[in-house]
Amino acid sequence: MKITFDWLKDHLKTNLKEKNLLEQLTNIGLEVESVENLSGDTELFKVAEIIKTEKHPNADRLKVCDVNVGENEIKKVVCGAENAKEGLLTIYAPPGAIIPKTKTKLVVAKIRGVTSYGMLCSESELNLSDESDGITELTKEFRKNIGKSYFSKSKSNLIDLSITPNRPDCLGVRGIARDLAASGFGKLVDLEEKKIHLKNKHNLKVKINREKGQGCTAFGSCLITNVKNSESPKWLKNKLISIGQKPISAIVDITNYVMLDINRPLHAYDADKIEKGIIVRNSKSGEEFTALDNKNYKLESGMCVISDNRGVLGLGGIIGGTRSGTEFNTKNVLLESAYFEPGSIRNTAKKLSLDTDAKFRFERGIDPLSIEDGLNKAAKLIKEICGGEISKIDIQKIETYKSRKITFDPNIFEKISGFKISLKEMIKILEDLGFEIKKDKKRFKLTVPSWRPDISQEVDIVEELVRISGYEKIKYIEPIKQRKKSTLNKFQKLFHFLQRSVASKGYLEAITWSFTDKRYNDYFRDSKKEIKIINPISSELGVLRNSIFSNLIMHINKNLDRGFKDLSVFEIGPIFNGPNPGEQNTVVCGLTAGKKSRLSWIEKDRNIDVFDAKRDVVQTLVEAGYDSEKFFIDSETPNYYHPGKSGRLFLDNRKDQVAAYFGEIHPNILKQIDMKTESLVGFEIFMDNLKLSEKTINDLKAKFSFSDYQKSERDFAFIVNKDVNAKDLIEAISSVNESLVKNIKVFDVYEGENIPENQKSIAINVTIQSSERTLNEDDLEKINNLIIKTVENKTGAKIRS
Amino acid sequence: MSDLKKIKDEFLLKLKRKLDISEINQIKSDLFGKSGLISTQFKKIGTIEETERKKFASDLNIIKDELQNLISLKINELESAEINKKLEKEKIDITLPERTFVRGKIHPVSQTIDEISSIFSEIGFSVEEGPDVENEYNNFTALNTPENHPARDMHDTFYLDEKKQKLLRTHTSPVQIRTMLKDKPPFKIIAPGRTYRSDSDQTHSPMFHQVEGLHIDKNINMGHLKGCLNYFIKEFFEVDKIKMRFRPSHFPFTEPSAEVDIGYEIKDGKIIIGEGNQWLEILGCGMVHPNVLKNVKVDPSKFQGYAFGIGIDRLAMLKYGINDLRAFFDCDYRWLNHFGFDPLDVPTNYRGLSR
């Protein structure tokens, strides 16, 4: 909502300065977004006429225009607007002017080889409208102003307020003035209530159809006959320009002025273009009309339309139609002042993607009792400026407004705000805001002003009182440093632990979006269901991620393009399994590309491999408190891993839920996304599948015990078939005697010379120690033989002699 | 002169000379070998008369110790001289680079979440979470934002179905609803997490982070809200005093509602938080609307309290001087390395939030 202090003063008597005003507006919840000085540079913007246009010699879309700016010299201006044509009256900005929208200063510049002296401006560049096609087109009435400044001098700054959606009353200058007055910033000016006596008959019949979902509950109107529409007088034009609106014609300007002044949207019809009478009704599916934005709209059924015998004239409370719009030659005007239901307005506007000033106001709730005031104010102005006769006012209603009553217990104020104000003060604030108050014992019986649809219960009254008396009155109550419940639960603690554990292994933590590119998602989707976003910001971000890999691989690739070769990143966050709340899992996902050491004077170059990923997974889980002795690892992994070089980890051999996958990413994926790196390995730890013990890590530990008896180490080399896993041998050895076999280490795996084809040699170091006595040669010999026998029996291995 | 004295004097003299290791070993064997001079003397002990035996044995032991010590000393000297000589040759170029190490980092948003949790932990808040995919009811309706409420326009929502029943949560406030439905008052929680709005430009990212706060009990008023947030902001920015402004605003789920600005100024191109004449909006808050409490079956005549929502990314940007929000989620190696935190830097109360 844009205002000026000058305009505010129409409603507010105050001696205070603009600086105080800005502060006070923010303090009472009418946040000042920006303050702009319109007076300075805008004088430079002049009314000008295009005398001639020529095609730019070096650019098809550009034109070179000769422009009359009221000086002897004709200016050459390069312009890209399609509507730039001979005879067009528009707005010219000379070099040195600052364009309000972009805040850029114009300079004389060569555009594709042709020197351009200044610029022809569009409405949006001048902040006259939000969007505009081409340069500003002025009416022929401006011809006499060529060379004169388009904007009038104004000392008042343009103040842009951010009005919260609960305050439609402050979408009019008067509402803002009322709030300011209540807060002690001046006195609200009484509006003169000089009612004109209207005798003329209103002979245009208006009817609101009583039908289901009717979006209009009241339709007030009056006829003004024999008017002469013209340009607005200077005061009115200046007023609109001062807040960045473009004057059009007196009748349109007046309706806009009344809307901005008292937040009463009106619509003016050329009465002669209405066939017979007005019918307010629900639209029929397929009905069409051309709106004032020159677009054709096809309506669904059930939208609130204003129509006549021929069809739709406009969408009630949203936008009028071209067929019945007023023009300079309009003789008779029908002025509409109606009440439209916010919900109905919103539905219709949303379906048609329409946003207008009127819609913005009606969907927030217009004062239902302002119908007559609006008509009076506008009709009087039209008569004053355009002449004519005003008819009697006609108001059709299908519902009568009932004022809202609230019983307010003043004690609630302190209970919620934490501070006190006197009853007298409360009453003053509420009266100033327009409430009617009756004191009933210890309570207030309040009647809510009709312009405040946001107030419906006691707490709303509290807010009004706190807001107007000032938030700075609220005390600071120091928080008490006391904790009754632990801050994090087990899961959250594990989350934080895993996060820092993985980072400590050299991974940079990334946070990427929860959505991703469908193509990348498909590489890692496995058998999961694709979850589409129906309104994504772009098609590359169209699905929720089924795996974190999709994003990480994309970003790793970008970093490879940046020239990095060895990269480790991880993310801990959600992946999605379905479109319903809760169908998500928390995953720690790491991805490493390149080599472990590169160009080192001391270490051999080596590609990152699956055992690096395995180490990171196992170490992380061990650090988190899980027992690696119990881990069960096999090679069944999803299809985005290398089928031979990847693994699946369970916390124990019950194999309930997969704790982690790790391995090389499938080379096909690298090929398809054109990734160039020596090696790419990754892992996924599924947090939801990690069992959370009720016990603490401390309680989970076994009793501390150790043996001081002598240890003995012995190496074995077995020849086994290739498909036998190291794990099988280790399990066989540890099954021999769990209390004596203390440690088993695979220290060599060999295939090739001296080993039969399809077989391999696995060398294992076993530590044997008793916790009861020192073992003698005999004992050791016995157990060694047992180890060999067991391994050979269980795995088909042969000891290598 | 007794034999003992003679042996002693002779060998002390011998050991004074410059000897190599084999010569010392020869002396050692001459003395202590199987038929060495000292060994032989020990064998004689039995043959000596009882009256003199004690003295002889004692003298012999003294001489033995003396000579033995001297020999060990000599050997040690020689050995260390030899090692030193060997080490001389092993000198390397210590300015060559160490073996490569890699250093992981924690993302600034994660670090900031930990800082926030640490601060609120001290004043008794615990951490709650909710799903990223929400239903329309929890995200809007239960929060007193019925369909067709213009406040819904402020949230550009990503939907997952045509009926617009399932969506990506636009704020962390639905965690309020989930928490209150699950338990009984009092409630004192924060809920950090991902939030989504279909908005994308220099200052908006379609995904960002918020932390929700909720404190419901008997007699919790706006003074508690102000005190809590003032405490938080001071702790977070690690300053003693903070210039802070509460101003009225509107959120459908709180009444009264407020937005909070903090004072700042730009000094030498850097933002200084807590002083100065400029205001920066950092959070929204208010007293939980009675309609919200009713929706979660909490009696608003008995319980009341406040809620707040803070943009985490924004806080991180301010505290750590990060300019571009989009870079947070861009995974640029250089950026992650520059703005990331060492994993050992866990924010705690006793060690402080940041180094």
Nearest CA in chain A to B280: A33
What's the whole-number mean pLDDT along residues B277-285? 90
Name chain B contacts of A482, Cβ cutoff 8 Å. 123-124
Residue A380 structure tokens: 């009087």
Cβ-defined contact of A165 to B135 (cutoff 8 Å): no
φ, ψ at A596 (rounded to 5°): -80, -45
- What residues in A contact B166, CB-CB < 8 Å? 579-581
Q: B118 or A113: which carries more pLDDT confidence? A: B118
The CA–CA distances, whole Å, from A336 to A264, A278, A368 equal 11, 10, 14
Using the predicted structure, report yes or no on whether residue B150 has a pLDDT greater than 80.
no
Find chain A residues with C-beta within 8 A of B226's C-beta: 474-477
In sign, the C-alpha dihedral spanning B24, B26, B28, B30 is negative
Q: Is the pLDDT of residue A512 over 90?
A: yes
- CB within 8 Å: B107 and A509: yes
The pLDDT score that the predictor gives to residue B56 is: 85
Taking one residue from A and the other from B, the number of pairs with CB-CB distance under 8 angstroms is 258
Q: Which residues contact A748 (CB under 8 A, 6 or more apart)?
A: A717, A761, A762, A763
The C-alpha atoms of residue A507 and residue A570 are separated, in whole angstroms, by 6
Q: How far apart are CA A728 and CA A274, in angstroms?
A: 93
Q: Which structural domain range is residue A503 located in?
A: 490-689
> Is A751 domain-assigned?
yes
Cβ within 8 Å, pair A513-B100: no
Please indicate, yes or no, whether residues A303 and A442 belong to a single structural domain of this protein.
no
What pLDDT sits at residue B256? 96
Tokens 């320009």 correspond to what residue? A241
Is A65 a residue whose pLDDT tops 60?
yes
CA distances from A603 to A606, A702, A727, B271 (A): 9, 40, 30, 45
Residue A728 pLDDT grade (very low, low, confident, very high; cuts 50, 70, 90): very high
> Does A697 reside within a domain?
no
Q: Is pLDDT at B111 greater than 90 in this prediction? A: yes
For chain A, percent of residues with pLDDT exceeding 90: 70
> What is the pLDDT confidence band of residue A187, given thresholds at 50, 70 and 90?
very high
Closest-approach residue (CA) in chain A for B200: A537
A661 in the same domain as A791: no
Can you give the pLDDT at residue A113?
84
Distance of CA B36 to the CA centre of its chain: 68
**What pLDDT, on the 0 to 100 scale, is given for residue A149?**
82
- Token pair belonging to A557: 């690739």
B259 contacts A364? CB cut-off 8 A: no
Of A630, A664, A689, the domain-final residue: A689
Q: State the average pLDDT over residues A156-184.
A: 93
Banded pLDDT at A668 (limits 50, 70, 90): very high
According to the model, what pLDDT value does residue B9 have? 86
Q: What is the pLDDT of residue A130?
A: 65
For residue A246, the distance in angstroms to the closest alpha carbon of chain B comes to 27
Residue B152 has pLDDT above 80, yes or no: no
Query: Do A362 and A264 share a structural domain?
Result: yes
In a domain, A476, yes or no: no
pLDDT at A40 over 60: no
pLDDT digits (tens, 9 = 90+) for A590-625: 999 999 888 889 989 999 999 999 999 999 999 999
Could you tell me the pLDDT band of residue A672, with boundaries at 50, 70 and 90? very high
pLDDT, position B41: 84
Is A680 within a domain?
yes
- Interface check A507 vs B, CB under 8 A: yes
- Please tell me the CATH code under which domain B108-339 is placed: 3.30.930.10
State residue A175's pLDDT score. Answer: 95
- Note whether residue A197 is domain-resident: no
The nearest alpha carbon in chain A to B134 belongs to: A581
Question: What integer pLDDT is reported at residue A356 of this predicted model?
Answer: 92
> Are A50 and A141 in a shared domain?
yes
- Whether A150 maps to a domain, the answer reads no
The band of A193, judged by pLDDT with boundaries at 50, 70 and 90, is low
Is the per-residue pLDDT at A234 higher than 90? no
User: What ipTM did this prediction achieve?
Assistant: 0.88
Within this chain, do residues A787 and A680 fall inside the same structural domain, yes or no?
Answer: no
Mean pLDDT, residues A773-799 taken together: 92
pLDDT at A153: 60
A757 and A642 within one domain: no
The DSSP code sequence of B289-328 is PHHHHHHTT--TTT-EEEEEEEEHHHHHHHHHT---SGGG
Amino acid at A715: D
- Tokens 């001062």 belong to which residue? A242
pLDDT band at A790 (very low <50, low <70, confident <90, very high): very high
Which residue in chain A is spatially nearest to B107 when comparing CA positions? Answer: A509
What was the pLDDT predicted at A150? 81
Is the per-residue pLDDT at A514 higher than 80? yes
- pLDDT bracket for residue A699 (50, 70, 90): confident
The pTM score is 0.84
Q: Is the pLDDT of residue A378 over 70?
A: yes
What burial letters (b/e) apply to A224-233, b meaning 16+ CB within 10 Å? bbebebebbe
Same domain? For A361 and A497 the reply is no
B160-184 average pLDDT score = 94
Residue A195 located in a structural domain: no
> Which of A464, A451, A202, A441 has its CA nearest to residue A333?
A202
Verify that A649 and A791 share a domain, yes or no: no
- Please tell me if residue A504 touches chain B, with a CB cutoff of 8 Å: yes
Check whether residue A175 and residue A320 sit in a common domain: no
Q: Are the beta carbons of B194 and A512 separated by less than 8 Å?
A: no
Kindly tell me if the per-residue pLDDT of A685 is higher than 70: yes
Q: What is the pLDDT of residue B275?
A: 80
Domain ranges of chain B: 3-89, 108-339
Residue A262 confidence (pLDDT): 94
Cα pseudo-dihedral A249, A255, A260, A265, rounded to 10: -140
C-alpha torsion angle, residues A459, A464, A469, A472 (rounded to 10): 70
pLDDT of residue A782: 93
Mean pLDDT of B246-250: 94
User: Using one digit for the tens of pLDDT, what is the confidence trace for B42-58?
Assistant: 888 888 888 888 888 88
The pLDDT of residue A494 is 96
- Please state whether beta strands A187-188 and A389-390 pair in parallel, antiparallel, or not at all (unpaired): unpaired
Decide if pLDDT at A194 tops 70.
no
pLDDT at position A694: 87
Name the closest residue on chain A to residue B106, using Cα atoms. Answer: A509
Number of compact structural domains in chain A: 6
User: What pLDDT band is residue A125 in, cutting at 50, 70 and 90?
Assistant: confident
Residue A608 is which amino acid?
I
737-766 in chain A: CB under 8 A from chain B: none
Supply the pLDDT for residue A682: 97
Q: Which residues of B touch A532 (CB under 8 A)?
A: 160
Which two tokens mark B135? Answer: 């239903």
Residue A444's pLDDT band (boundaries 50, 70, 90)? very high
- Residue A450's alpha-carbon distances to A75, A170, A314, A337, A405, in angstroms, are 55, 13, 27, 16, 11
Higher pLDDT, B227 or A46: B227
CA distance A197 to B124: 69
> pLDDT-derived band of residue A155, with 50, 70 and 90 as boundaries?
low
**What is the rounded (10 degree) CA torsion for B246, B252, B253, B256?**
40
User: Using the beta-carbon criterion (under 8 Å), do B223 and A476 form an inter-chain contact?
Assistant: yes
Look at A56-60, A152-156, B24-28, B75-79 and tell me which has the smallest mean pLDDT.
A152-156
A224 and A370 fall within a common domain: yes
Query: Mean pLDDT across the stretch B27-49?
Result: 86
Quick check: A38 pLDDT over 70? no
Are residues A9 and A120 located together in one domain of the fold? no
Once rounded to an integer, what is the mean pLDDT over residues A519-543?
93
Give the CATH number, domain containing residue A415.
3.30.56.10
Indicate if A598 and A637 belong to the same structural domain. yes
What pLDDT is stored for residue A41 in this prediction? 63
Q: Please list every residue in chain B whose beta carbon sits closer than 8 Å to the beta carbon of residue A546.
A: none
In this model, does residue B292 exceed pLDDT 80? yes
Please state the rounded mean pLDDT for residues A290-314: 92
Q: Is the pLDDT of residue A39 over 60?
A: no
| % pLDDT > 70, chain A | 98
